[in-house]
Amino acid sequence: RSEGRRQRTDDGGRRSEIGRQTAEGRGRMTEVGGPAVAEAMARKADGRGQRSEVRGQRTAVRGQRSESRSQKSEIRRQKAEDG
């Protein structure tokens, strides 16, 4: 069922891709949330033009930032274990 939905968002091109990035960056249910978020963002971008697309990119960057932060803390943990 979700497979078909994912297919449709892929056809949306770049905009849906941005939506998927935000879902992954937030670390929430990427499989469940990803395509749905992408679809919603694509619809939003169609309605409002460029503005929401830019906002989508910003949130994508924010997600990547928090991801790298969690990686840093993981590395710190490993160092402590090796001690």
- How is the chain split into domains, by residue range? 2-82
Local confidence band at 77 (pLDDT 50, 70, 90 cut-offs): confident
Local confidence band at 27 (pLDDT 50, 70, 90 cut-offs): very low
Residue 46 Cα distances to 18, 28, 37, 49, 56, angstroms: 14, 25, 14, 6, 13
pLDDT confidence of residue 28 = 46
Alpha carbons 8 and 30: distance in angstroms, whole number: 16
Cβ-contact 45, 6 below 8 angstroms? no
The residue among 47, 18, 20 whose CA lies nearest residue 33 is 20
Phi-psi region of 27 (alpha: psi -120 to 50; beta: other; left: phi over 0): left
Please give the average per-residue pLDDT across 57-73, as a whole number.
Answer: 64
